[in-house]
Amino acid sequence: MVCKTMNFFSVIRKQKQNIFSSRWQYKLSNIIVVIGFLTINIPVNTTAQETTNNIVNQASYTYTDSQNINRPYRGISGELKLLTDINISSSKSGRILGCAGTTLSDYTGFSVGLYEADINDPTGTELGKIVSLTRTELPDVPNNNLPGGQNPNIENSNPFFLKNNPAGVYNILLDPNRGQTEAGKTYILVVNPPQNSNYQQRRIKIQITGVDSTNNNSVKYVAASLDGEPLNSTGATRVEDTLVAVAKAEVNQRSLLALAFTANLCTAQQLQIIKTGDRATAEPGDTVIYRISVKNLSDSGLNNLAVTDNLPLGFHFINKSVRGELDGQAVNITTERNGNTVIFRTDVTIPSQKVVNIAYAAQLTPDAVRGTGRNSAIARVLRTDNSLAAKDGPATHQLVIRPGIVADCGTIIGRVFEDKNFDGEQQTGEPGIPNAVIFLENGNRITTDPNGLFSVANVLPGSHTGVLDLSSIPGYTLAPNRKFRERNTQSRWVRLEPGGLVRMNFAVTPSRSK
């Protein structure tokens, strides 16, 4: 007798049956039955069992041969036995979510891996070797002595690549029999985005703290962010949780604990600030127009925008010049000023991928030639969905300052002379002392000419000090001053105004006259 195969698609009629406390349902959509004499493809009514724990699933069927419609065929399938030792539950799985706690649109290329902390790193933040996890599978096959796994990481792979269904869910099972849940154990959970992704890698330190006192089957751990970014939508960078028991295999009595940690993943850059000016060079008296652009790069609206702008020395901020614009519409910008620091604020919400532009003017004063001409700005915002803070900057603009016709440098002139009447002033018959040396506070060394005169040009405005070196004029000492007590020292202090001229005189007398 020749045996032929009949393939048919079944329409399942469910009959619910309670076994223990939890339920499992398996649908038979394609059944292959071996029957002799003919091969046909026809619809068949079947009945499948529901069960829990050790599942025995069996289907009964009826069909009619088109060549013998008066003789219906009946039969029963072979048994499908499934040994299971876990209760798959979303509470025993971790999840990678977006910055606001929502699922990402696509998890293709994302992976989660668990690593040992580098034992040679005292900070405990560097990666060591990847953790060797106990292999699992579903269904549990007695012959290979493997415990049951948990969806979606059935084989307990490390690293595990995330899927879109279920979206962003992962699970990592640790084996107490291998010492993986001992108190003090430290791991680093790494979330890797695909190449060219807007998201950045996340590293989360996982430290086992001990057995849960309320549940001996659970182990406590502490998760801490290593990149400073929040772990959840509340902004926390450190959370406590538990490893939950998920497997108790009947084959080898092995118990596994699930790492069910949920972490938020934010884009590498939430916003972007750019600062530009209307010119590359300027001189005192010119007015420069600056423009600050703040773009929302996140997937959420941004509000509470505050831009802190630090102007260089000699730049006078013109308050009435401030203008703001978003998507072609004017927005209100308020300003706060503290010295050379200006803070711009607006209460508008910046939609995703939109730009707020802020423009203002600054006028250069003569002091600008002593400054760097470089100013910088930093932008800070809050996300509207979870109120987490984000910032970018500093954005800088370099302006080359030309002196032009305005110069604020001054000149110091002076003399070293023999004071015969001790009044501190040179008169007729009081000769100058040549080759006398004066040191300024910046280290400059000046020598008097044959008439005892000296001068220093292009000196910045402000306070300056000069000291007479008595060793450069042997045979002389300071002359006592009967009119000004402060001149009875080797040093002189002067105040030079911008573009000004000051005098610094030193009166001496022969040593033999004392």
Distance separating alpha carbons of residues 323 and 330, to the nearest angstrom: 8
| Residues 245-259, mean pLDDT to the nearest whole number | 59
Place of tokens 């619809």: 43
Contacts of 279 (CB under 8 A, 6+ apart): 286, 288, 399
Distance separating alpha carbons of residues 342 and 348, to the nearest angstrom: 19
pLDDT at residue 139 is higher than 70: no
| Residues 25-35, mean pLDDT to the nearest whole number | 34
Distance separating alpha carbons of residues 422 and 182, to the nearest angstrom: 89
| Residues 269-279, mean pLDDT to the nearest whole number | 91
Are domains 271-401 and 410-513 of this chain identical in fold?
yes
pLDDT range class, residue 19, cuts 50, 70, 90: very low
pLDDT range class, residue 8, cuts 50, 70, 90: very low
Residue 29: the pLDDT is 34
Task: Enter the DSSP assignment of 137.
Answer: B
Q: Is the pTM of this model over 0.85?
A: no
Residue 407: the pLDDT is 66
Question: What 3 state SS string does 380-405 have?
Answer: EEEECCCCCEEEEEEEEEECEECCCC
pLDDT at residue 325 is higher than 50: yes
Place of tokens 């049951």: 148
Residue 488: the pLDDT is 79
pLDDT tens digit string along 219-237? 888 888 888 777 877 778 8
pLDDT tens digit string along 61-115? 566 666 666 666 566 554 443 333 333 334 578 888 888 788 888 899 999 999 9
Mean pLDDT of the residues in the chain: 78
Residue 348: the pLDDT is 94
pLDDT at residue 185 is higher than 50: yes
| Residues 276-281, mean pLDDT to the nearest whole number | 91
- What's the CA angle centered on 397, arms 391 and 400, to 5 degrees? 160
Q: Of all residues in the chain, what percent carry a pLDDT higher than 90?
A: 34
pLDDT range class, residue 466, cuts 50, 70, 90: very high
Residue 11: the pLDDT is 35
| Residues 323-350, mean pLDDT to the nearest whole number | 94
pLDDT range class, residue 59, cuts 50, 70, 90: low
- Tell me which of 404 and 427 has the higher pLDDT: 427
**Which range (134-143, 239-248, 298-307, 500-509) has the least confidence?**
134-143
Name the residue among 420, 381, 364, 403 with its Cα closest to residue 303. Answer: 381
Token couple for 432: 């100058």
Distance separating alpha carbons of residues 291 and 295, to the nearest angstrom: 13
Residue 52: the pLDDT is 40
Query: What single string gives the DSSP state of each residue in 263-276?
Result: EEE-BS-SEEEEEE
- Measured in residues, the chain has a length of 514
Residue 321: the pLDDT is 94
Q: Is the dihedral of CA 202, 208, 211, 212 positive or negative?
A: negative
* Domain residue extents for the chain: 3-83, 90-265, 271-401, 410-513
pLDDT tens digit string along 377-425? 999 999 888 788 888 989 999 999 887 765 677 899 999 999 888 888 8
CATH, domain 271-401, list 2.40.50.180, 3.10.180.10, 3.40.30.10, 2.60.40.740:
2.60.40.740
pLDDT tens digit string along 434-451? 999 999 998 889 999 999
Helix (H, G, I), strand (E, B) or coil at 482: coil
Token couple for 224: 């801490």
Q: Compute how many other C-beta atoms are within 10 angstroms of the C-beta atom of residue 11.
A: 11
pLDDT at residue 119 is higher than 90: no
- Strand duo 44-49 + 60-65: pairing: antiparallel
- Tell me which of 133 and 299 has the higher pLDDT: 133
Give yes or no for a contact between 4 and 69, defined as CB atoms under 8 angstroms apart.
Answer: no
Whether domain 410-513 has CATH 3.30.750.210? no
Token couple for 419: 């004071």
